[in-house]
Amino acid sequence: MTNSIFRKEIQERIGEIKEADILVGIPSYNNARTIGHVVRAVQAGFAKYFPDKKCVLVNSDGGSTDNTMEIVRETAIEDFESVLIRHKLDMFKLATPYHGIPGKGSAFRTIFEIADALSVKGCAVVDSDLRSITPEWVELLLKPVIESDFDYVAPLYHRHKYDGTITNSIVYPLTRALYGKRIRQPIGGDFGFSGRLAKFYLTKDVWETDVARFGIDIWMTTTAIANNFKVCQSFLGAKIHDPKDPGADLSAMLYQVVSATFDLMETYAYLWKNIKASDPVPAFGFQYAVGLEPVSVNLDRMLERFRLGARELKDIWKEILPQEIISFLDNAAGLKKEDFNIPAEVWVEIIYGFAVAAHKKKMNREHLLKSLTPLYIGRTASFVIEAWNSDAQEVEKKIERLCMVFEEKKTILIERWD
Amino acid sequence: MNIYEAVITGPFRIFYEKVIQFLPNFITSIFILIVGIALGFLLKNILSWLFRAIGLDKASERSGAVELLKKGGVTEPFSKLLSRIIGWITVIIFAGISMSALQIPSVETLFERFLLYLPNMFIAFLIILFGYLLGNFFGRAALIASVNAGVRFSNLIGKVVKYLILILSATMALEQLGIGKETIVIAFAIIFGGIVLALAIAFGLGGRDLAKDYLDKKIKCEEKKDEINHL
């Protein structure tokens, strides 16, 4: 393991702090608009829930040009009385640019290294573009580690039924079927973990792979499960982000997440092949219904993208998927919007087909996984149509059904894998 | 008598002497050729077995070489193909040596020139091979990227990228072989320039409305955006 090099002033600051109890890391890149709110929420969380602990807030920045780091340094809660029960705070703040491949994973690596250098007991990371974060998130992500000896705390959110579609249609059902743990938001982005686990993460040589980018979340979750760390979930409420153009580089995002997931399947093949079903994990926090902002969906454009893929990428898909799936997709491309449907059974065959093709190196990894994008868009369109009139509970049932199909068809994956 | 000897027996004697003189070289040459063929056959079988034993077929499948061969219409296992190529190379080398053994000056010169030309052929072969590989790779990359960007004529883009690389590699290979050096470079420049110009005119004239619609949509934000957060 090679440590990324801290700047001199950060080394000096670490020398001054020496040791800490808890650390919250915020990775950022041009988040000047929202990071102030996140920093205030974390500071309030420290003061309200951990007044007797030595707390450190770390901002690991990817070279922002909009004064993100300055905002972190300058942000402070002016009116402590409004949020605090006790006014005592032993808190330090560090803002540093990270080294390595540009991406969220590299930012996390710097946070792990600082956590390790300060020998913290509990650690958490939260996204810098959150608009719904409250001081309670700090408590919910860290208390299970500090007080109940858990090593990894995954988030549980209420999200809009069309939000988190990579999570709902690929990562959650696949991770659950493979490793047998029902972690609902394995790539949620906001996690709590022990200092012991942070140290363990640093022993892994993955920082030049997709883990350094969007693959970090699934890597952290899977590594924790597969290495028998104590895992739980905490209900955080609603997850609302700063609006951005989510379709901008969907293909690259999907590639990084799925590629990291498939890499982990290679690493832990000995483990997941022997797991037959899934179990729930302990959950913390009081669950309540929350109002969510509406999500606009352009269904026609999604179907157009799927049809374009079905027409142009059919020859590539033929090398990956069974003939009956190809025939089904061919037929689906010709259907009207109201009749369009990619059922769970077909979707599971597609994902398992791509996993086996990646394992058997049937073609260049990037070509293989980027050719999945139109299929993913097609499945998302199908889900949008299916869940058009469904409420949150009904949607959750549909996702549960998809998970069961992933688990039932796992034997097919194992047969084709070897 | 002298006339009979000069016209009839003399040439026969000379011919006979030359045949007697040439015969050992000929026999040696035939012997070398037979040894070469036998060695090539033996080598082919031994290597075929050896390659199979070390799992070359599986390794070539993983590396994508099999996919490439299939695209080129070759369905034989990689181990068999490679051992056959090595066998044939052995036979060709021995055929060359056997021709040298004949000690006929014109054949020797021809063989020497062939040997000197061989590296050019080898380099040209490598250029074509890499061109084929790169053409397929970048053609497919362009196709997938275009589909994911929602471009309707993605297939055309993929094919243009693939064939441009193939044409470029063919031009370089022919130049390496010394065939119509200047002509080929000029022809390539004309074809390439022509394609670019044709595309520019086609997009300029044919795509005017399309570009207008696109810009209208982008500037006026007419197209409804997705707000789905995928992660």
Rounded mean pLDDT, A20-43: 90
Residue A56 · residue A138 · CB < 8 Å: no
Partner residue facing A163 (CB), from B144, B148, B229: B229
Domains and CATH numbers, chain A: 8-284 (3.90.550.10), 299-417 (no CATH)
Contact B231 A167 (CB under 8 A): yes
pLDDT value for A156: 92
- Tell me whether residue B19 is in a domain: yes
Helix (H, G, I), strand (E, B) or coil at A24: strand
- Chain centroid to CA B96: 22
Per-residue pLDDT reduced to its tens digit, A359-409: 988 888 899 999 999 999 999 999 999 988 888 888 899 999 999 999 999
Residue B5 gets which letter from DSSP?
I
| Contacts with A362 from chain B: Cβ below 8 Å | 67
Please, which residues bridge with residue B53 across strands? none
Dist. CA A305–CA A379, nearest whole Å? 11
Per-residue pLDDT reduced to its tens digit, A252-264: 889 989 999 999 9
Among candidate residues A107, A88, A90, the one with its CA nearest the CA of residue A99: A107
The H or E element that residue A96 is part of is: strand A90-97
On the question of pLDDT at A322 being above 90, the answer is: yes
On the question of pLDDT at B67 being above 80, the answer is: no
Best probe of the B interface among A168, A313, A354, A382, by most B CBs < 10 A, is A313
CA distance A136 to chain B (A): 23
3-state helix, strand, coil in chain B (%, to 5): 85, 0, 15
Contacts of A142 (CB under 8 A, 6+ apart): A22, A24, A49, A50, A122, A123, A124, A153, A192
Q: Decide if B62 touches A, using CB distance below 8 A.
A: yes
Q: Domain of residue B9: give its range.
A: 1-103
Instruction: Report the predicted TM-score, pTM, of the whole model to 2 decimal places.
Output: 0.79
* Number of Cβ within a 10 Å radius of residue A332: 20
On the question of pLDDT at A71 being above 90, the answer is: no
Q: How many CB pairs under 8 A join A and B?
A: 98
A193 band by pLDDT with thresholds 50, 70 and 90? very high
pLDDT value for B224: 58
Query: Which position has the token pair 């979750």?
Result: A221
Dist. CA A82–CA A85, nearest whole Å? 9
- Tell me whether residue B120 is in a domain: no
Per-residue pLDDT reduced to its tens digit, A256-289: 899 999 999 999 999 999 998 899 999 998 877 7
- Tell me whether residue B1 is in a domain: yes
Residue A330 · residue A310 · CB < 8 Å: yes
Q: Which of A24-33, A384-393, B99-108, B192-201 has the lowest mean pLDDT?
A: B192-201
The H or E element that residue A206 is part of is: none
- Tell me whether residue B209 is in a domain: no
A247: nearest CA in chain B?
Answer: B226
- Tell me whether residue B92 is in a domain: yes
End-to-end CA distance of chain A: 32
Query: Which position has the token pair 């014109």?
Result: B106
Residue A320 · residue A368 · CB < 8 Å: yes
Domain count, chain B: 1
- Go through chain A and tell me how many residues it has: 418
Partner residue facing B230 (CB), from A166, A217, A298: A166
- Tell me whether residue B202 is in a domain: no
- Tell me whether residue B30 is in a domain: yes
User: Is the predicted ipTM greater than 0.90, yes or no?
Assistant: no
Q: Helix (H) and strand (E) counts for chain A?
A: 19, 10
Per-residue b/e over A311-328, b at no fewer than 16 CB within 10 Å?
Answer: ebbeebbeebbeeebbeb
Give percent above pLDDT 90 in chain A.
55
On the question of pLDDT at A313 being above 90, the answer is: yes
Residue with the larger pLDDT of the pair B192 and A334: A334
Q: Which of A108-122, A194-208, B63-77 has the lowest mean pLDDT?
A: B63-77
Dist. CA A185–CA B222, nearest whole Å? 34
How high is the mean pLDDT of chain A?
88
- Go through chain B and tell me how many residues it has: 231
Residue A61 · residue A93 · CB < 8 Å: no
Best probe of the B interface among A132, A308, A318, A379, by most B CBs < 10 A, is A308
